[in-house]
Structure 1
């Protein structure tokens, strides 16, 4: 199956939020409560409106669409948000739907979002699949840990860093 990568636009906000909701359910269904997911589903319209300005920037907001023009992957990056950030560039998120696992889509999205630049990211501590993917892409834990905010049920996360390539 082939995918096209492109910069998301504000007009993609609803589709991005619907995709993100499904990707979170697939990736974190075993980690977050059913109430969390019910609340996410109930707030789709509001979240789409909040997402629009986030998609109206020059920073990478890359979506992958399939032959039916459905979003099957997303990666976004931009200036690091950590005061002690180990790199200037942060990968904010990278998700693909389960049926695309193993196709190379995740690596393509990562490349489109951060290229060969030094970058860092935060990943859930209890997400070994994602951690293995990032290790394969040259990221390594740097010892920093944290918790997601209360609305994300304070799941523990670890920071991973990759030096510039090439």
Structure 2
């Protein structure tokens, strides 16, 4: 499994990973009709544009690729609390905005390799601290981040509503 920077052509594969991950990880948390309606074509176009417009090293995406297939991805950008992408200054945090993998690679070591790559990319970007948000009721993800040095900072907010459901999110932080 190789960890590399994403290129715009990865957009459709990234969308496929995201949709498959959401449909498994968020079953019972996110309304099923929302999960069923997730469109990989539209998401693929958005991810392609996002990858193409990323201002590396302060924003970007890494993918885990094996046998020519994207199995996982992670993207980061300046944290909203840091003034947004155009306004990032020295010392402002970056945000790990998305970290998803195909369900069949969970527990295989792929995600550990990818999070290590993310940590290295954040440190190389001069990031002193990063944040991420995770659904409060997603213990698998919360355990994963805690095992890799991320700590919940006590901040809780709400995501949504997604098809009428509001989802509590917890913020995690990590220093570099």
Using structure 1 for the length normalisation, give the TM-score.
0.85
3-state SS of 2:29 partner = coil
Q: How does 1:48-87 map to 2 (within 5 A)?
A: 48-56=44-52, 57=54, 58=56, 59-67=59-67, 69-82=68-81
Distance in 2 (alpha carbons) for counterparts of 1:82 and 1:147: 16
Q: Give 1:62 shift.
A: 0.7
Q: Give 1:98 shift.
A: 2.4
**Which has the larger share of strand?**
2
Residue 160 of structure 1 pairs with residue 158 of structure 2 = no
Aligned counterpart, 1:12: 10
Give a deviation string over 1:44-95, Cα, whole Å, max 9, x none: 222222222201122231111122x2221111112111269x9511111111
Distance in 1 (alpha carbons) for counterparts of 2:36 and 2:51: 25
Q: Give 1:143 shift.
A: 1.0
Structure 2 residues not aligned, in runs of 5+:
84-90
Using structure 2 for the length normalisation, give the TM-score.
0.81
The verdict on how the C-alpha distance between 1:13 and 1:103 changes in structure 2, with shifts beyond 3 A counting, is: same
3-state SS of 1:25 partner = helix
Structure 1 residues not aligned, in runs of 5+:
none
Moved over 4 A (4+): none
Distance in 2 (alpha carbons) for counterparts of 1:16 and 1:46: 12
Across the two proteins, how many residue pairs are aligned to each other?
Answer: 159
Q: How does 1:113-132 map to 2 (within 5 A)?
A: 113-115=118-120, 116=123, 117=127, 118-132=129-143
| RMSD over aligned Cα atoms | 2.2
Residue number among 88, 94, 98 corresponding to 1:93 in the alignment: 98
Answer whether contact 1:139 1:161 (CA < 8 A) is retained: yes
Q: Give 1:96 shift.
A: 1.9
Q: Give 1:158 shift.
A: 0.2
Aligned counterpart, 2:86: none
The verdict on how the C-alpha distance between 1:149 and 1:136 changes in structure 2, with shifts beyond 3 A counting, is: same
